[in-house]
A and B are shown apart, each in its own frame.
Chain A
């Protein structure tokens, strides 16, 4: 069964600090991995997308990494801002092209 596991479940950091969110998956075969940001009560917004051949991709202060051998990905947030408070969702798509969603990591940035 395809699964996507994210850790930690929740995280609290101070404004200006860095943090790293983890994603492990068992989806096979692998097509792509995406990170989404979801503000409370809103729809998710795509941050990055990576295919098998890519091992890092940046979008401003967000940097995603992918290790397809160990089936792990991370999302690093640099110099966090209050607006980064949200849920971050890892999504992996396999051969069926139907995505499998992780449960998300809830990030709270305190001033």
Chain B
């Protein structure tokens, strides 16, 4: 079974630009979550999508947005990039429903975004 796939792996952007990151979950997983990892800050929750609906949202500014498609694939977008947005962005998928609550998140290898 293929794992969670994130593209691209690496991205370099300039301040003020916008970026779109893509995530394909494990087949059969309908819940997709996004996390930001920065040095010394651990993994900070961005948002979670299930059945094309945002189910949870973390404490990030509105410049960070996402969406989920009918095939469960997800994208996140960051507009008006700032230097502090440089981070590893991780996507994770899990089973949905009551089984999903006890099901661990399965992470992709992330997209390393560098803002210059």
**A and B from one complex:** no
Spell out A's residues near B (CB within 8 Å).
Answer: none
Spell out B's residues near A (CB within 8 Å).
Answer: none
